[in-house]
Amino acid sequence: MSGRAAKSGDAVIHLDVLITMANQIGDFFTPYPPGQREEGVRNHLRHYWDPRMRDALLAHVDATGGTGLHAHVLAAAKLLREPGAAKTGYPGPPKA
């Protein structure tokens, strides 16, 4: 770990760990169809991550363009900012 950290509120979040966690979520959704893949990651970040974690991830995206994030994880993070994105529902896993 490089020791890089993002200050968010009064909690320090190590970016290396945050990036690893985000990419692990992305790995889970990799086999999903495009669109559903990004929405699944976005939904997980929105529902299960502390707002300070999301803020730190978005600050990393702003500062570096998302260095270290998988492409679909970066796209999902950007979806967190879209107007109305919070109103969309995650349709669940693909139907066989």
Residue range 65-91, pLDDT digits in tens: 999 999 999 999 999 998 755 544 555
Res. 7: pLDDT tops 60: no
Residue 96 lies in a domain: no
Distance set, CA 93 to CA 5, 39, 41, 66, 71 (Å): 34, 11, 12, 26, 20
Residue 30: domain span: 11-82
Contacts for 87 with CB less than 8 Å, ≥ 6 apart: none
Q: Amino acid identity, residue 71?
A: A
In a domain, 18, yes or no: yes
CA atoms of 19 and 49, how far apart (whole Å): 13
Domain membership flag for residue 34:
yes
- What is the pLDDT, as a whole number, of residue 78? 96
pLDDT in tens, 15-48: 999 999 999 999 999 999 999 999 999 999 999 9
pTM: 0.76
Tokens of 81: 């900012």
